[in-house]
Structure 1
Amino acid sequence: MSAQDGESPRHPPLAMWVWRTADLLSAQRETERFLATIGPLHLSDLYLYLTPENYRIHDTALRALIARLKTQGTRVWGMDGWRGYFHDGDGPSGLMAALDSLIAFNARHPDAGFAGFHSDLEPQDGQGAGRSLFHNGLSASQLTPAQRADRDRLMADWVALHDTLHQRTEEAGLAYGAALPSWLDDYYGEPVTMRVEGDRRSVLGQILARVDEAVIMAYSTRPARTAARLHGELTFARSLPQPPRILFGVETHAGPRPAVSYADLPSKASRKTVLSDIAAIAAELAPVGPLSGAVIHDWQGWKTLPP
């Protein structure tokens, strides 16, 4: 299939999330459809959501899928994420169990193992788990002392989770990546900060120093707006001695709203348009910093989007 048919060559590098991985692994027909559809995209990376049990239940199918993806140059990551993994919710035991299961899978299948572990941990309130400690809609200067203490405690927990995951993946010879909201450098006009050793420091900086790659969820159907949301992350990454890979996300899942998802905007509801906009965003950001590619959210949305 050519670029005119709705696919593109591997410029910029392209990745994809898969949330309903168990469905994909449970039916050979769905697996083949998936591989046929993503083949022309030449994906650089694939993030598969898997529970601790999935690594065992779907062991054979998962090994076969990873082996086939590796032959076409796609790195596969295990993925997990939930607001409840913070300590004010259920805690991170389930998240660590998923990582343990991935490491055990790699030990069983060194020839077809995962390249890394990817987290999607979002701290904002209103996700149905955890306490309301972020205080949505308030910039740092608008917080009361009690609210500031709440947010500081939550941000410290968030950074600590990334620190633990980075250490554990590094010990296992794996890469560690994280999906991050795009507003950390500009939340209602101010950066999100936390107290570190008596000073206030950027949460974005704390996290970027603890990941091998960061996917910025700058979802917008307007390329200029997506690019604008990446400036802070790219500029900050450029200042680091060892900058992580920085990628940006595009939304193709129906439901969020036309300003956010290509599936919800009829004039842009096609794979060809998504890929064209990705190329435009990458071109605009090229002078800013070390952009490493784009990520499609997600397979469920992409497969229903017209070519």
Structure 2
Amino acid sequence: MVNAVRSHQHTETDQLFTGAPDAGVTQLYLYTPPDCYIPQRPQLQTFISRATTSGLHVWALDGDRAYFVDAAGPTTFYRGIDNLIAYNAAVAPHEQFSGFQADNEPQDHADYRTFHNGIPDTNLSHTPGSGLWQPTQAQDREMLLRSGLSIHQKASQLLHAHGLRFGAAMPWWTEAYEGEELGVRFPEHGGGMRRQSVMKHMMGLVDEYVVMSYYTDPAEAVRRVEVQAAFASGMAGVGRPRVCAAVEVTPGVGRRVSYGDTEGKNSRAVVLRDVGVIEEGLSRYAAFGGVAVHHWSAWQSMPD
């Protein structure tokens, strides 16, 4: 069953609410820019109310590489969360968001080059002057990942204080970046700094961990989620996050990455068949929570 669809457009609501049951959708992730909550409040109220009536839970979603501290910083990101909280406080329960999903990915993009794409942790330079915003390359990545975790930690605290669930969309390769996991030192709840995978730190901050395991071979998609699902399944039941896999159906992303670009795979029937394979492959993990589809407009445009 497809349990989550990330929705980026508001113009296809009729098709969404009639088609969601056939796709097995139970959660919607609605892209909500930080300053949309006030001017679009009536539309949001109507949309969420219809979703609630249809048995769907709606999460707000926002993320940007610019939210990291080596770029513009998280101020705007936090403002969006504050605006979400204010929106929920101002509307009826059936018009409220269920949670918020962050989509902040650390890899280099556009003008941002402090992650150092393509270099495993052990090959990053420790020579002073090799870094771009810290003294060394190794410190560039360490501080970037640490700041990213701090941003998610604060978001988690803000949202949980107001009864909202918190999730994160994360790259699959954090456990196998150029053959190595991405390690980082980060404060534990009991104090101190422990170095371990960024994924393992993040699992303690979120209620839902969506792995962007985009690949049109379902066996490979399963492999990209197994480490995360296994780790979460070993956590205590009360604090255990739900771990989801994901499939990409948007055209223009890349062959073998997106079903929309892969010959012989570009149909809803094939996607649902492969989703079933992914679910079967991950169902042995107690933390596994389903498969997210990105995104609804592209899904709706696919042939049957």
What's the TM-score once normalised by structure 2's chain length?
Answer: 0.90
Do the aligned residues in 2 keep the contact of 1:178 with 1:213 (CA within 8 Å)? yes
Do the aligned residues in 1 keep the contact of 2:2 with 2:23 (CA within 8 Å)? no
Residue number among 164, 167, 181 corresponding to 1:174 in the alignment: 164
* Shift in CA distance, 39/161, structure 1 to aligned 2, threshold 3 Å: same
Match of 1:16 in 2: 5
Do the aligned residues in 2 keep the contact of 1:42 with 1:72 (CA within 8 Å)? no
- Please give the secondary structure, in 2, of the residue aligned with 1:266: coil
Match of 2:103 in 1: 120
Do the aligned residues in 2 keep the contact of 1:13 with 1:292 (CA within 8 Å)? no
Is 1:209 matched up with 2:204? yes
Match of 1:298 in 2: 295
Match of 1:65 in 2: 47
Match of 2:137 in 1: 147
Do the aligned residues in 2 keep the contact of 1:119 with 1:178 (CA within 8 Å)? yes
Residue segments in structure 1 that go unaligned for 5+ positions in a row: 1-11
- Please give the secondary structure, in 1, of the residue aligned with 2:175: coil
Post-superposition Cα deviations, 1:228-273, rounded to whole Å, max 9, x if no partner, equal 1111101111222222000011000001112100000130101111
Is 1:267 matched up with 2:256? no
Match of 1:75 in 2: 57
Post-superposition Cα deviations, 1:147-188, rounded to whole Å, max 9, x if no partner, equal 111110001011001100000000111000010000111112
CA RMSD, Structure 1 to Structure 2 (Å): 1.5
**Using the alignment, how far apart are the partners of 1:14 and 1:199 within structure 2?**
34
Is 1:253 matched up with 2:236? no
Offset of residue 13 of structure 1: 4.9
Is 1:224 matched up with 2:205? no
**Using the alignment, how far apart are the partners of 2:153 and 2:193 within structure 1?**
19
Residue segments in structure 2 that go unaligned for 5+ positions in a row: 127-135, 187-191
Offset of residue 136 of structure 1: 1.0
Post-superposition Cα deviations, 1:78-103, rounded to whole Å, max 9, x if no partner, equal 11000001111111111111111211
**Using the alignment, how far apart are the partners of 1:269 and 1:13 within structure 2?**
17
- Please give the secondary structure, in 2, of the residue aligned with 1:269: coil
Offset of residue 57 of structure 1: 2.0
Offset of residue 191 of structure 1: 0.8
Match of 2:91 in 1: 109
**Using the alignment, how far apart are the partners of 1:67 and 1:79 within structure 2?**
18
Match of 1:136 in 2: 117
Post-superposition Cα deviations, 1:68-125, rounded to whole Å, max 9, x if no partner, equal 1112221101110000011111111111111112111111113210000111000001
**Using the alignment, how far apart are the partners of 1:187 and 1:53 within structure 2?**
34
Residue number among 30, 33, 51 corresponding to 1:51 in the alignment: 33
What's the TM-score once normalised by structure 1's chain length?
Answer: 0.89
User: Structure 1 stretch 168-177 or stretch 43-52: which is displaced more?
Assistant: 43-52
Do the aligned residues in 2 keep the contact of 1:42 with 1:73 (CA within 8 Å)? no
Which amino acid in 2 is paired with 1:117? Answer: F
Aligned-pair identity in percent equals 34
